[in-house]
Amino acid sequence: MDKIIIRGGNRLSGRIQISGAKNAALTLIPAALLTEEPLTLRNLPRLADVDTFGHLVNQLGVSTEIEGKRPEVFGRVMTLKAGRITSTEAPADINRKMRASILVLGPLLARMGHARVPLPGGCQIGARPIDLHLKAMEALGADIEIGAHFVTATAKDGLKGGLVKFPTVSVGATENALMAAVLAHGETIIENAAQEPEITDLAQCLIGMGAKISGVGTATLTIKGVTSLHGDTYSVMSDRIEAGSYACAAAITGGDVELVGAQPETFEAVIEKLRAAGVSIEPTEDGMRVRCDGDIQPLTIETQPFPDFPTDMQAQMMAMLTLAKGTSVLTETIFENRFMHAGELERMGAQVEVAGRTATVRGVDALNGAPVMATDLRASMSLIIAGLAARGETQVLRVHHLDRGYERLEEKLSAVGADIERASGD
């Protein structure tokens, strides 16, 4: 198994290209199931999760053609065509690798009236129930049967418009409900919908395919079902979490980095916290410039659904704050088991105390390189960030997590001055 070796202490300086958003891509791919015509997605990141989802829809009968296979090219163009869906059962082996596979439920039900989906897998960062997904399908007229390992949903006469009212905000359930509703008979209203930019990206893609959706970007979505959708060409939004991650990397090394293609409006809460920590953020013609003199101020952070601070940036921000001039407090409200990186940061000399859903980080003068173990995608990046600033050598093990969410990370960081390489594990 591969590992990443970092010899820390180098100041990052230069330009980093921000890739297409992983979380948006994994929502747009199943949208191809909603039409017989080709859907072409541009700016797809080269990630293990994207490849895995492509294999999943292949097994449902979707053909995929990929441009930009050359390794030196960032991003790819994928054309998906679901002219004939040959299976309405998502394969269990792929499902175990990623929880996003549940997102084929809504499109399959909407178009075929039947779907059988395994219970989801993915990062082990706490419970991720799918009950809201199922209740949304029931609100649209589906019959749900839950087995030991699979969920079977049926709508013999097609889905019907209705009221989907979420008791709590759920990104995935909102995406599933939205895709199901676009082909349902009549009008659907989704209340307490998640407002993440990736949902706006999905909605805009669906509108381009002929869907009738209003309220995009708000907590209330209104969808007037249509009988069919057509093909389209759509460019995936840039990855706001990748951009935030590299901003933290620039800050902790006292760097000066331009994030090319970053869309600041998609992660304003992160930018606000970075500025409060003493990091300079300025828009540029091509994205945004991040500068820091290394004097990082402590913060108080609480993760919340968009537009507030995202849970997917909590670990990276914690890594940066290990070198802050004071004590920071981070509260995780989304997932109950998302501080597993704290113990690994402590191996590098960080002072982190975890009590329930709150972590107290007391800034230290320096971190020291050490062998550390990645536990999930964002935790992996937090260890990379810490390693960039640490004295000596850091080895990050189990980096297959990183490959799920960061395109060509070593290449991007090397280009701005990091001493980083990938090596085969022992």
Active site residues: 123
Residue type, 419: D
Q: Which residue has the tokens 């004295």?
A: 391
Is 94 annotated to bind a ligand? Reply is no
Is 23 annotated to bind a ligand? Reply is yes
Quick count: other Cβ atoms within 10 Å of Cβ 219?
15
Is 116 annotated to bind a ligand? Reply is no
Q: Going by C-beta distance under 8 Å and a sequence separation of 6 or more, which residues neighbour residue 410?
A: 4, 420, 421, 422
- Separation between Cα atoms, residue 385 and residue 3, nearest integer Å: 15
Is 129 annotated to bind a ligand? Reply is yes
Is 132 annotated to bind a ligand? Reply is yes
Is 312 annotated to bind a ligand? Reply is yes
Angle of helix 314-321 relative to helix 340-347, nearest 10 degrees, comes to 30
Count of residues in the chain: 426
- Separation between Cα atoms, residue 18 and residue 26, nearest integer Å: 17
Is 99 annotated to bind a ligand? Reply is yes
Tokens of 426: 């022992």
Is 130 annotated to bind a ligand? Reply is yes
Output 265-271 pairs: Cβ under 8 A, ≥24 positions apart.
266/197, 266/237, 266/238, 266/240, 267/240, 267/241, 267/243, 267/310, 267/313, 268/307, 269/306, 269/307, 269/308, 269/309, 269/310, 270/240, 270/244, 270/309, 270/310, 270/313, 270/317, 271/247
Is 334 annotated to bind a ligand? Reply is yes
Question: Is the separation of the CB atoms in 154 and 142 below 8 Å?
Answer: yes
Residue 290: C-alpha distances to residues 81, 245, 246 (Å)? 40, 11, 9
Question: Binding site for UDP-N-acetyl-alpha-D-glucosamine: what residues are annotated?
Answer: 99, 128-132, 312, 334
Question: Binding site: what residues are annotated?
Answer: 22-23, 99, 128-132, 312, 334
Question: Binding site for phosphoenolpyruvate: what residues are annotated?
Answer: 22-23
